[in-house]
């Protein structure tokens, strides 16, 4: 059982990464082998519109043909039994790195056909983890629906876990943060974020169980 976990945050030890690591622990405790990636460590580009993934008879048909550090990650997803993708939400969207990954993953799986529109034959369960500074649930409803719908179309059945009202700084006094109730934010981090980490752990275990049941 192989699971791919991708942290799409530029911060490798902060909220999104902690959620992804907790999910990793859940996967491993359920018996899975996990490959974990921090996208910020990789040197890659967004879709280059080379259309190698669409060339009939080409060696890259149905796979992204652009070669860089993202190539083994994309290939790993197509060969894995499950995927967990984490991202903070910036200005109502996932990070630019995650957008680039999704462009190349989804576009390579899209067929310009009058019949079936998806190239990928295998279906694997997908779990999305979003963290955000804003406190409101469903504040990014369009983003959530778009990511879930696209993952379900090209990769497999998808589920989203959100952690909201997260801490941005370890010391708020060093930054202009007068719009925040820092005491409330610290209290939430101490009381609610551990519950979110447990949910991420459970999400990882559930992913392995769903992959095994296929």
**Those residues with Cβ within 8 angstroms of residue 137's Cβ, 6 or more apart along the chain or in another chain:** 162, 164
Tracing tokens 């943060």 back to the chain, one arrives at 177
Reply yes or no on whether the pLDDT at 119 is more than 90. no
Reply yes or no on whether the pLDDT at 139 is more than 70. no
What pLDDT was estimated at residue 138? 58
Question: How many domains would you assign to the chain?
Answer: 1
- Whole-model pTM: value is 0.92
Taking Cα atoms as reference points, which of 98, 110, 40 lies closest to residue 69? Answer: 40
Domain carrying residue 172: 2-212
Which CATH number do you get for residue 142?
Answer: 3.40.50.360
């Amino acid at each position: 059982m192989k699971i791919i976990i991708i942290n799409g945050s530029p911060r490798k030890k902060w909220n999104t990464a902690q959620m992804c690591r907790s999910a990793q622990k859940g996967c491993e405790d359920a018996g899975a082998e996990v490959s974990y990636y921090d996208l910020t460590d990789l040197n890659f580009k967004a879709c280059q519109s080379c259309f190698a993934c669409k060339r009939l008879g080409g060696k890259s048909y149905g796979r992204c043909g652009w070669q860089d550090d993202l190539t083994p990650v994309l290939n790993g997803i197509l060969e894995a039994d499950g995927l967990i993708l984490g991202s903070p939400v910036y200005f109502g969207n996932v990070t630019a790195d995650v957008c680039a990954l999704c462009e190349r993953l989804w576009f390579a799986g899209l067929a310009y056909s009058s019949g079936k529109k998806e190239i990928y034959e295998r279906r694997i369960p997908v779990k999305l983890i979003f963290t955000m500074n804003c406190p409101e649930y469903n504040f990014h409803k369009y983003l959530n629906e778009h990511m879930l719908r696209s993952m379900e179309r090209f990769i497999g059945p998808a589920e989203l876990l959100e952690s909201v009202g997260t801490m941005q700084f370890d010391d708020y006094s060093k930054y202009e943060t007068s719009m925040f109730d820092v005491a409330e934010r610290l209290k939430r981090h101490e009381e609610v974020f551990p519950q979110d980490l447990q949910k991420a752990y459970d999400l990882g275990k559930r992913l392995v169980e769903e992959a095994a049941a296929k």
